[in-house]
């Protein structure tokens, strides 16, 4: 089974190293006997799912989209009829192209809280070379 060191686990979950250490101390994440500490991949995956469920439970919106990224708008670039909106959701940068009218109606500006919903028929999954 693949394991992850604390710093890598923190980056994958979009939290600080200290947060991961607190979760370990509170029994929310198990570690192996390795030194330095490593988190089993299946436990890290379960924690990621739990975090997503917590975020979903705090939301007051129902949607059929399963790929939702809650984050902060980091850029709004309006040019003519179109707008590009960048959203930082933890370690993920999500870019949306929309009409300038929609960006204005949503009152999107840097620092706004927003959710990107992705509904796609094709998703590419990659893994690192071993």
Could you read off the pLDDT of 78-117 as tens digits, one per residue? Answer: 999 999 999 888 778 889 999 999 999 999 999 888 888 8
Could you read off the pLDDT of 69-85 as tens digits, one per residue? Answer: 878 899 999 999 999 99
Listed as own residue / partner, the contacts of 8-17 with beta carbons closer than 8 Å and 24 or more positions apart are 9/39, 9/44, 11/91, 12/44, 12/48, 12/91, 13/44, 13/47, 13/48, 13/51, 13/90, 14/89, 14/90, 14/91, 14/92, 15/90
> Does residue 99 contact residue 81 with C-beta atoms inside 8 Å?
yes
Could you read off the pLDDT of 49-62 as tens digits, one per residue? Answer: 888 777 666 566 66
Residue 29 confidence (pLDDT): 94
Whether residue 35 is predicted with pLDDT greater than 90 in this model: the reply is yes
Q: Which of 24-28, 42-46, 82-86 has the lowest mean pLDDT?
A: 42-46
- Counting beta carbons within 10 angstroms of the beta carbon of residue 13, is it exposed (0 to 12), middle (13 to 18) or buried (19 or more)? buried
């Amino acid at each position: 089974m693949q394991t992850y060191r604390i710093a890598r686990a923190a980056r994958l979950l979009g939290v600080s190293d200290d947060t991961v250490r607190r979760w370990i101390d509170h029994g929310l994440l198990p570690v192996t006997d390795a030194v330095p500490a490593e988190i089993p991949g299946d436990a890290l995956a379960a924690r990621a799912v739990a975090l997503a469920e917590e975020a979903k439970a705090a939301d007051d919106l129902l949607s059929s989209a399963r790929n939702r990224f809650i984050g902060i708008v980091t850029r709004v670039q309006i040019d003519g009829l179109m707008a590009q909106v960048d959203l930082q959701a933890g370690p993920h940068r999500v870019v949306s192209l929309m009409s300038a009218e929609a960006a204005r109606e949503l009152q999107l500006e840097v620092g706004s809280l927003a959710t990107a919903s992705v509904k796609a028929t094709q998703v590419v999954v990659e893994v690192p070379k071993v």
